[in-house]
A and B are shown apart, each in its own frame.
Chain A
């Protein structure tokens, strides 16, 4: 069962990383489990390359509002480290857990030399320090190994399942993946999911 009710989950990253799909899959999973789920998305303008965030709120008893109050996240799933730390600043608290991809995606302002991207090790260190637990996953590396960085979101879902930070029953989760992904890409995505699980088990 979910450890808190409502369980407040944030999935964040960069536009184009498949943030929305990841939150949709998790949402469907919990709806199928008979839970009440609300997902609030934040995407504006043409968000490609911009920061994106979904709030997934899960309850056994009531339909939660689309947004959680500040500092009330129970779990942050970060597809990009700086975005994870950014969300931790707004929604973090001493009991939050974080599952983060380790590969940074540099904003254009950093590439153009106007801003600096902090050392990744420092970002991860701070995420660990400001949360109850930090789980690190080399999701982009794993995804690239499978042929495409876009699979990182599904790698993260696999890692999330194996981490037990959210109660995701494996068989049911795979069924939700099958129902949510185009048949042509299913095999590759299921591999990404498995490798995400493995990455956590190696921890």
Chain B
């Protein structure tokens, strides 16, 4: 049985924040879950996926976040308790349905999990999605611990049904990827089906309907503000004259700092668990009772600005500060030392930060960025394309493991802004320059938002090459399925949509399917694509070896070794491929037979044929 289905209320489990959210949804009796995976949200749907195999929960990996939001919206207006999860930039993709779903509202509780990534641990930007609650008018909860991740998810369903509005829960990496104790509650039975009741004057958003719905949204917003002002979510801790306002992960750093600085008696903390609508009355009362206020929030000065507006309207003239105090800025996540220092600075408390170790006598340490795995097919595709096109072509790339093609020695990534941008920006580069253009996109990303770019390329006669790196899974976020995956070996019934059929159906004339581990043949096809006067698509098919192993589809091959009688130390293997299975022993390249998966690519690259299979 899945551990999150453990039916023992009162038991304490050490749960990842994302697991706690999944558990909270189960305790709310969630029936319907959708997502597009994205760090740091991916563990939520991975748990739902597994749970759906042994319960009545419906779960799907949707094509992209917009689709996930719309599929979920239909379930929620039909009356089912529904959850949809995504990372912060995913909500950009889903912003269109979000904005008008706020107008029509829901019947069954609907919870939108949005995972922000301050400090960009694995994202292309660090936008602050608290703005989406302001933009849409939807309530936002910001839990501060694993326990609250569970509790708030459960309560969000109740609030959503009471207001007939979707509720957004905003997490950040420091909540999603933190493990803490969680006390389990009762599991609720899952309702499998609902009946949709027609009501075109609510659900069909023609202008005449939406004009009225906007009024209703503002009414609901007032009700949400009442909840926010009540004592169910937001609270003031302490009675001191020094005011601190904190939300999300920052609340933990503030709690630690106040203890550490020994200023508990002097401080009042306004903890914003429901951060939108702002609890206006509570904020005003709070500001009236304290001498000054420090707002501790990562990224944008949202709470700070809103508090200042409340103060202005109510004739409150105490100092209200946030950004600019100590090292508080709009950049990156806060760290606990910085929070201690800023609090000490602002309230004039003595604080001596522990001294940094002086490691002056230490040699410089080599950086260790992540790299493509041993036997990763992307490495082979990149090598083959570089051999044919050279380094001068423009290489728009996309979001996935293959973005690591940025790093030397591959160095084949020139432009990426978001999911799907490789296909469409390829159109732009091809038209705007006389340079050759080769765009790279992964299989899952192609379905997510690459198809529309390819349609543009066909329709507007753009001349470039799109390489679709088809490794049979959504690899980077943890091997999720997508519409192109053959799910049979996993015992899952989903209809596969072969990428080649999609590409041909879109009208692409020059289509090549290559096997990247067969370098010579692959390069011939790539050369043909390069010489074709028009749009070419190359589909590079080879399963991610980690996924293949995990799903028992891996065909074991002999690992390789370097034959030192033949090796003349050109090091083409290391210099062009840099596979993690290779290492230097003295100045000789060796291959670790435990890491090598026998992809044979280095053996094909070696000019001396000095890389040979290990004899059994």
CB distance from B333 to the nearest CB of A (A): 9
**Once bound together, how far apart are the Cα atoms of A92 and B255, in whole Å?**
23
Binary A-proximity of B451-492 (CB < 8 A = 1, otherwise 0): 000000000000000000000000110000000000000000
**A122 in contact with B178 (CB, 8 Å):** no
- Name the prevailing secondary structure of the B interface residues: loop
Asked whether any CB of chain A lies closer than 8 Å to the CB of B82, the reply is no
Question: Is B281 an interface residue, CB under 8 A from the partner?
Answer: no
Residues of chain A in range 1-33 having any CB-CB distance to chain B below 8 Å: 14-15, 23-24, 27-28, 31
Q: Judge whether A145 is part of the interface by a CB distance below 8 angstroms.
A: no
Cross-chain contact B122 with A45 (CB below 8 angstroms): yes
Q: Is the CB of B368 within 8 A of A64?
A: no
Given the interface pairs A49-B580, A64-B256, the reply to whether A107 lies near B357 with Cβ below 8 Å is: no
Closest to A70 in B: B337
B287 at the interface (CB under 8 A from A): no
Chain A window 32-73, contacts with chain B (Cβ cutoff 8 Å), 1 for yes, 0 for no: 000011111111111111110000000000111111111110
List 25 A-B pairs, Cβ < 8 Å. A14-B368, A41-B179, A43-B121, A46-B476, A49-B368, A49-B370, A50-B368, A51-B368, A63-B180, A66-B174, A67-B336, A69-B340, A70-B356, A89-B356, A89-B365, A109-B366, A109-B369, A111-B574, A114-B408, A116-B366, A118-B363, A122-B363, A126-B361, A129-B361, A149-B594
Interface size on B, residues (CB 8 A): 58
Contacts A27-B14, A66-B249, A93-B354 known; A112 to B367 CB distance under 8 Å?
no
Q: Are B368 and A44 in contact (CB under 8 A)?
A: no
9 extra interface residue pairs, beta carbon distance < 8 Å, beyond A31-B12, A69-B340, A113-B571: A27-B179, A48-B371, A66-B174, A66-B178, A67-B174, A82-B366, A86-B365, A92-B357, A107-B368
Given contacts A65-B253, A118-B365, contact A108 B578 (CB under 8 A): yes
Whether A110 contacts B370 in the complex (CB less than 8 A), given A24-B14, A27-B14, A130-B357, comes out as no
| A18 and B408 alpha carbons, distance in the complex (Å) | 26
**Which B residues are CB-close (under 8 A) to A74?**
none
Please give the residue numbers on chain A whose beta carbons come within 8 Å of chain B beta carbons, in ascending order. 14-15, 23-24, 27-28, 31, 36-51, 62-72, 82-83, 85-86, 88-89, 92-93, 106-118, 122, 126, 129-130, 148-149
A42 to B173, CA, bound (A): 9
A38 contact from B179, B361, B367, Cβ within 8 A: B179
Please name all residues of chain B whose beta carbon is closer than 8 Å to the beta carbon of A63 when the two chains form the complex. 145, 180-181
Map CB proximity to A onto B555-585 as digits: 1 under 8 Å, 0 otherwise. Answer: 0000000000000000100110010101110
Confirm or deny: B401 has a beta carbon within 8 angstroms of a beta carbon on chain A: yes
A45 B580 Cβ-Cβ under 8 A: no
- The 0/1 profile, CB within 8 Å of A marked 1, for residues 233-261 of chain B is 00000000000000001001101100100
Contact A48 B370, beta carbon cutoff 8 Å: yes
A residues less than 8 Å from B180 (CB atoms):
37-39, 63, 66
Contact digits for B89-108, partner A, Cβ 8 Å, 1 yes 0 no = 00000000000000000000
Provide the residues of chain A in CB contact with B255, threshold 8 Å: 62, 65
Q: Which A residues lie within 8 Å of B594 (CB)? A: 148-149
Closest residue to B180 on the A side, CB-wise? Answer: A38
- Give Cα distance in the complex from A92 to B370, angstroms: 24
Type the 1/0 row for B347-371, where 1 means its CB is closer than 8 Å to any CB of A: 0000001111101011111111111
B367 and A115 contact, CB distance less than 8 A: yes
Q: Residue A67 contacts which of B122, B335, B404, B578 (CB distance < 8 angstroms)?
A: B335
Give Cα A15 to B368, complex, Å.
10
B366–A112 CB distance below 8 A: no
The secondary structure that dominates the A interface is loop
Q: CA–CA, A92 to B356, complex, Å?
A: 7
Residue on B with the closest CB to A122? Answer: B363
Q: Could you say which residues of chain B place their CB within 8 Å of the CB of A111?
A: 574, 578, 582-584
Contact B337 A69 (CB under 8 A): yes
Please determine whether A88 and B249 come into contact, CB atoms closer than 8 angstroms.
Answer: no
Q: How far is the CA of A107 from the CA of B253 in the complex (A)?
A: 33
CB distance from B290 to the nearest CB of A (A): 23
- Tell me which residues across on chain B come within 8 A of A45, comparing CB atoms: 39, 121-122, 370, 403-404, 476
Question: Does B336 contact A65, Cβ atoms closer than 8 Å?
Answer: yes
Task: From A44, A65, A71, give the contact of B354 (CB < 8 A).
Answer: A71
Take A45-B404, A89-B357, A111-B583 as given contacts and tell me if A69 and B336 are in contact as well, using a CB distance cutoff of 8 Å: yes
Chain A residues near B580: list those with CB within 8 A: 49, 108
> Chain A contacts of B353 at CB under 8 A?
69-71
Interface string of B365-385 (1 = CB under 8 A from A): 111111101000000000000
Q: Is B428 an interface residue (CB 8 A)?
A: no
Task: Kindly supply a per-residue 1/0 record for chain B positions 61-100, scoring 1 wherever the CB is within 8 Å of any chain A CB and 0 otherwise.
Answer: 0000000000000000000000000000000000000000
A118 — which chain B residues lie within 8 A by C-beta? 362-365
Which A residue sits closest to B259, measured CB to CB?
Answer: A62
Tell me whether B177 is interfacial, beta carbon within 8 Å: yes
Q: How far is the CA of A88 from the CA of B575 in the complex (A)?
A: 32
| Residue in A28, A40, A47, A111 with the greatest tally of chain B CB atoms within 10 Å | A111
